[in-house]
Amino acid sequence: MDDKIRKEVISILVDNHSNVLTRVSSLFGRRGFNIDSLTVSATNDPKLSRITIVFQGTEQALNQILTQTAKLEVVRKITPLDKKNSIYRELLLIKLRADKTERSAIREIVEIYRGKIDDLSRSSMIIELTGNSEKIDGFMDIISCYDILEVCRTGITGISRVDEALME
């Protein structure tokens, strides 16, 4: 096993009970794994939820995460979503200070990135952007020359392109 630090996206199908998120996230905490982002969402089965976790670590650490998490009673299935065969998406909401002199330039950038302007006031605007993390990072880089008031990123959620569904 190599010691290279890699970024991994893991999809976990869990029982939709209270405390499930605590069980999963506290396992990561006490085993010393760093979570970059974590999203929880409903699935088409009301009894199940999906957790998508992005973490950084070595192959050995990834292996530990997969096997330790799989031991939890609430975990139905756990799979790493490899980059080639998966689609990752993230949502960004960003509030910028922008008066009338800056609006059109910002609008141009937003259009290039296929984002949306959700809200406008005399002195600020809120932009919405969806995409993979690289696209969001790229947008953030460009937009950072403006005065950013607030940023929210949801963290990655992902789905495998493979036909077989990540179901129980």
Per rule CB under 8 A, is residue 117 in the interface with another protein?
no
Determine, following the binding rule CB under 8 A, whether residue 4 of this chain makes contact with another protein.
no
Residue 2 binds another protein, judged by CB under 8 A: no
Degrees, nearest 5: CA angle 159-131-53: 45
Kindly tell me which residue out of 37, 39, 58, 64 binds another protein, with binding defined by CB under 8 A: 64
CB 45 within 8 A of CB 164: no
Strand, coil or helix: what is 16?
coil
Q: Which of 34, 41, 60, 123 binds another protein (CB under 8 A)?
A: 60
Q: Which of 96, 99, 147, 103 is nearest to 122 (CA)?
A: 99
| Residue 68 in contact with another protein, rule: CB under 8 A | yes
Of the pair 30, 100, the CB lying nearest another protein is at: 30
Instruction: Give the integer Cα–Cα distance in Å for 157 and 127.
Output: 20
Chain residues in the site for another protein (CB under 8 A): 1, 18-19, 22-23, 26-27, 30, 60, 63-64, 67-68, 70-74
